[in-house]
Amino acid sequence: MTKRLGEAPVRRAVVSGSTFEERIGYARAVVDGDWVHVSGTTGFDYETMTISGDVVEQAEQCLHNIATALAEAGCTFADVVRVRYLLPAREDFEPCWPVLRRAFGQVRPAATMMVCGLADERMRIEIEVYARRGTVATGAGPALRIEPVAGDAMVEEWRHVHNVIVPPAAMTPDEARERAGRNRLANAYLADVLVGCSTVRPPGGEERVATVIARTLPAYRGRGIGTALYEEGLAHARVLGAEAVETVVLAANADGLRFAGARGFAEKERYVLDGEHDEWVDLRLAAARPA
């Protein structure tokens, strides 16, 4: 889980819990105005401080760590303008290309690959990015901030948005906590005001289908918030290795169906759950993976 150090409006640090950051004295990322500088990031799982021996799995974990830092900084892979790849063995780079393309294939940042030694012999790839936060159409108001859900207070905020948007599927606190345990949830804020949330259900099945859902409270629609939530969730799904992406919308939610259609989702099926009366629509993204 990331946490913020300080609340300065221009510059702040984002830390990840990596023991390297504490022992060496640096931050996972630094937000400096609109710019976000993400430190060289390796394939360690920061919660357990373990690392896979497989270079592709390390690349996936690198991108997961970076995506988490970017979300804490209020941006996504779509805001990345430069990326550097550092590898001790040049032959390890090409096997990582499909993973890297999922994150950056549509963004096309400037990129450099360097062959060099890394700090720990277990490290087979390190990735560094620079991002410039995009402008969400919120007028002269505060910038949008998207943060992964962590802790009961944020779960309760996520539940509030979910229940407002889809009252037929309203959740109890226990149900929301269970959902947070198996999916990746995020909340969106303007300053400290809750304005939306998202859900990413990890890819599963033979088709590696992930589900990405973005929700914006009615009073804040039409400002680009839903798009930012969707793009951040889609980037995360790609990092997890999604081969296809779906979403689900309450049939009565005309705004939600228009939003999905405008982003390339096509209706897959409609259904009514047993014992219920409300109709749901499953939709699939026509081309989830960049070419």
* Digit-coded pLDDT (tens) for 239-251: 888 889 999 998 9
Which pLDDT belongs to residue 142?
60
Angle at 206 between CA 242 and CA 266, to 5 degrees: 60
Sign for the pseudo-dihedral over CA of 36, 229, 177, 195: positive
Angle at 179 between CA 257 and CA 273, to 5 degrees: 50
Which pLDDT belongs to residue 70?
84
Would you say 54 and 23 are in contact if contact means Cβ atoms under 8 Å apart?
no
| Residue 78: DSSP 8-state | G
d(CA 236, CA 112): 22
d(CA 249, CA 247): 7
Would you say 269 and 279 are in contact if contact means Cβ atoms under 8 Å apart?
no
Q: What is the DSSP string of 144-211?
A: EEEEE--SHHHHHHHHHHHHHH-GGG---HHHHHHHHHHSEEEEEEETTEEEEEEEEEEEETTTTEEE
> Full-prediction pTM beyond 0.75?
no
| List of the chain residues with pLDDT < 70 | 1-10, 134-142, 287-291
Greatest Cα pair distance in the chain: 61
Q: What is the pLDDT of residues 39-60, one digit of tens each?
A: 999 999 888 889 999 999 999 9
d(CA 180, CA 188): 16
Sign for the pseudo-dihedral over CA of 13, 19, 25, 29: negative
Angle at 203 between CA 199 and CA 205, to 5 degrees: 135
> Residue 256: left if φ>0, alpha if ψ -120 to 50, beta else—which one?
alpha
Sign for the pseudo-dihedral over CA of 132, 134, 139, 144: negative
| Residue 10: DSSP 8-state | S
